[in-house]
Amino acid sequence: MPGRRGGIVNKASPTIQDVARMANVSTATVSRALSAPASVAEETRRLVIEAVERSGYRVNQTARNLRRKQAGAIVVLVPNIGNPFFSRILAGIEATASKAGLNVLIADTRQPRAHEGPLSEYLHNNRADGILVLDGSLPDRFFSAGNRSHPPIVYACEWSEGTRLPSIRFDNAGGAALAVEHLADLGHKSIGHILGPLDNVLTRERRRGFDNALKARGLPMRPDWYFDGDFTLATGANAALRWLELPERPTAVTASSDEMACGFMSELYRNGVKVPEDVSVVGFDDIDIAERFIPALTTISQPRMEIGETAANALIDLIRNPDRKPTGTGFTRLLDARLVVRSSTRAVA
Amino acid sequence: MPGRRGGIVNKASPTIQDVARMANVSTATVSRALSAPASVAEETRRLVIEAVERSGYRVNQTARNLRRKQAGAIVVLVPNIGNPFFSRILAGIEATASKAGLNVLIADTRQPRAHEGPLSEYLHNNRADGILVLDGSLPDRFFSAGNRSHPPIVYACEWSEGTRLPSIRFDNAGGAALAVEHLADLGHKSIGHILGPLDNVLTRERRRGFDNALKARGLPMRPDWYFDGDFTLATGANAALRWLELPERPTAVTASSDEMACGFMSELYRNGVKVPEDVSVVGFDDIDIAERFIPALTTISQPRMEIGETAANALIDLIRNPDRKPTGTGFTRLLDARLVVRSSTRAVA
DNA sequence: TTGTATGCGTTATCAT
DNA sequence: ATGATAACGCATACAA
């Protein structure tokens, strides 16, 4: 006698059928009572709810998704899960998505065979109802390759230049300009800049803001005052070594990320150079440690939680209203950056 | 004429039916060719593969999961997604799970209504084939409440004390002992300790290791040399204030987390106290910034990527072999911690 | 407002 | 080795 053993019925999870039986209604009514309560009589609804509670019924999302032809999930494409910069953003995304009943899948775009495997899987395999891209280095055409249809896509933080896809961004150029203004106001006339990876949009945007602000103030732009980097602590430290070798050193340096700023200060310290006495430093991002670094880092702060929420909401909106045109300025939003002055900058003597 | 518009057929994603038609075989054969290639004739298999490629067919995971009664995903219960400590671990989990074809769902246990909502949802709603718990403060009985069955569960990093569930852990007590040994070897006779949250297992384990090592060395254990904390930068800074007020200060302090150690040093710096000249400091975790803090932090390092991989593998093993008994020492593994000596510690004068 | 009936795309059982 | 067919659990079109 299958389903029974020793006289005890194997408890499988209750299905909509079980609930229907208990409430003396059809499965259709149970389904309606749960997903469109208004379309069911008050009394019937009560009966169903009670049966649901007594049986401990939970809808089988897999079955629901199959029937509704949806995935019940969004996927977030992250360049590097290990990078703390993204964790706050992810928190914002997760909170927003789970409120909307959507699971959040994380995929690392820097994973070895990510591009052929998981990524195109998510793109074309109906495994996600929408995609949030935090990686601007994925070529835009990646998403339209093969002319196949894909779910709604929204860029957050980073974006692919020239993309027509909606994107939620910080005002990176504006933030970089803020840093220069601040230093110029303190009397600095020679300002250097540590770059992120050259193929990164944020690197370019921040540099653009930096350059423009320099120009606006009539300050010099010397090639040897730009330092290579890739956003990491290590390359920041490397920039410090380069700075030390300079015949003529800028009295202030702005970094395209806090991590590089910290690496820079760290290496200077090891070489007996003092911040801000000998050189002023401004970071970018305002990561947690910035406030507690030695010295506390002056930096550009961005609402990271908020960008996650905003991007998730934009994507959910697109998912719920597939007819809406995702292109156009209405879907691209710019979040303000702001300067946080701490102890790594001071007026020139 | 539904499905057609203007003479152009709407391309829906191809199904197994389409492939079957193209290859002149039944859907059953296609299914077999894909999930059990050995059970299909060489030539047939070739035909199917070709049809799959020509049509661009991808299996519909939702349908497969419904049929197989599985979720195709594991869920990771994290105390706080924003905490950088977890990101490396997540990276390890993600890499391992995706190799096994499993999606990774992240749930924040500290989210407002997490306990009633999402969590029990994941537990009992077949939304996950397995659960990885990184939060030891969830009461163990939470998982067996209501006597309902649940998917396999594995603890990683943290665990609920007295649990019979498998867990993958670092040797926290051993690591803490390493810190004390190091300081004692440097001649320190008065050593303080900054605690994590009191209800946390790691706090207790690390304190136990600390206490035992102190005892073994015949060093004093003074109540006023234990400082409250909760693993964050802020409470580390707070501990520094407490240290400053002490009539008799320990010459060395070990912290239960790197963040607290950094906060501690940061606040000392602001009060003109020098590390390691005036006091030695040892952290715990070896987060990225430790190496580049000022001074570089001596700390206890743990293989965080590896613990993620190990835990994910253990869970996957349990999922694939449901009959195996998840209890017992075979499933609980201890990963070694190791001391990394940098510049925040030195011998007493 | 409610019930009946069908199908979402796949896999597994049972024949052949 | 292959094919026909029946579920998996739910949601909806249609009928009543």
Residue A348 domain-assigned (yes or no): no
Which of B101 and A118 is assigned the larger pLDDT? B101
From chain A, the residues in CB contact with B65 under 8 A are: 62
Phi then psi for residue B77, to 5 deg, are -95, 110
Question: What mean pLDDT is reported for chain A?
Answer: 89
From the list A228, A179, A223, A173, the residue with the least C-alpha distance to A199 is: A228
- Provide the pLDDT confidence category of residue A8 given band limits of 50, 70 and 90: very low
SS3 A343: coil
A341 touches strand C (CB under 7 A): no
Do B166 and B252 lie in one domain? The reply is no
B27 touches strand D (CB under 7 A): yes
For residue A92, pLDDT beyond 70? yes
A66 touches strand C (CB under 7 A): yes
- Provide the pLDDT confidence category of residue B3 given band limits of 50, 70 and 90: very low
In chain A, which residue ranges form alpha helices assigned H by DSSP? 16-23, 27-35, 42-55, 61-68, 85-99, 120-124, 172-185, 201-217, 233-245, 258-270, 304-320
Please name the residues in contact with B135: beta carbons below 8 A apart, sequence gap of 6 or more: B77, B78, B79, B109, B158
Cβ under 8 Å to B: A residues 252-291: 259, 262-263, 265-266, 269, 288-289, 291
pLDDT of residue A219: 97
Q: Is A5 on the interface with B (CB under 8 A)?
A: no
Do A163 and A312 lie in one domain? The reply is yes
Measure B32 CA to D1 C1' (Å).
Answer: 11
Residue B349 domain-assigned (yes or no): no
pLDDT of residue B327: 58
Antiparallel, parallel or unpaired: β B226-227 and B191-194:
parallel
For residue B9, pLDDT beyond 50? no
pLDDT in tens, B42-93: 999 999 999 999 999 999 999 999 999 999 999 999 887 767 788 889 889 9
A71 touches strand C (CB under 7 A): no
Least confident of A329-343, B213-227, B286-300: A329-343
For residue B6, pLDDT beyond 50? no
Residue B253 domain-assigned (yes or no): yes
Do B135 and B32 lie in one domain? The reply is no
Q: Is the entire prediction scored with pTM above 0.75?
A: yes
User: How close, in Å, is residue A218 to chain B by CA atoms?
Assistant: 35
Residue A133 domain-assigned (yes or no): yes
SS3 A293: coil
Do B37 and B134 lie in one domain? The reply is no
Q: What is the CATH number of the domain that holds A13?
A: 1.10.260.40
B79: nearest CA in chain A? A91
| Dihedral over Cα of A248, A251, A254, A259: its sign | positive
Q: Which residue range is the domain that position B39 belongs to? A: 3-56
| Dihedral over Cα of B228, B230, B231, B237: its sign | negative
For residue A328, pLDDT beyond 90? no
Measure A276 CA to D8 C1' (Å).
Answer: 67
Do B185 and B261 lie in one domain? The reply is yes
Do B26 and B122 lie in one domain? The reply is no
CB contact under 8 A, B90 and A105: no
Do B293 and B200 lie in one domain? The reply is yes
CB contact under 8 A, A108 and B91: yes
Q: What is the CATH number of the domain that holds B245?
A: 3.40.50.2300
Please name the residues in contact with A349: beta carbons below 8 A apart, sequence gap of 6 or more: none
Phi then psi for residue A64, to 5 deg, are -60, -45
Residue B234 domain-assigned (yes or no): yes
Residue B63 domain-assigned (yes or no): no
Residues 50-89 of chain B in contact with strand D via CB under 7 angstroms: 63, 66-67, 69
Measure A22 CA to D12 C1' (Å).
Answer: 22
For residue A147, pLDDT beyond 60? no
Measure A32 CA to D13 C1' (Å).
Answer: 14
Phi then psi for residue B19, to 5 deg, are -60, -45
Q: Whose structure tokens read 């613990």?
A: B307
Residue A344 domain-assigned (yes or no): no
Write down which residue in B30, B56, B82 finishes a domain.
B56
Report the number of distinct structural domains present in chain A. Answer: 3
Nearest nucleotide to B39, CA against C1' atoms: D1
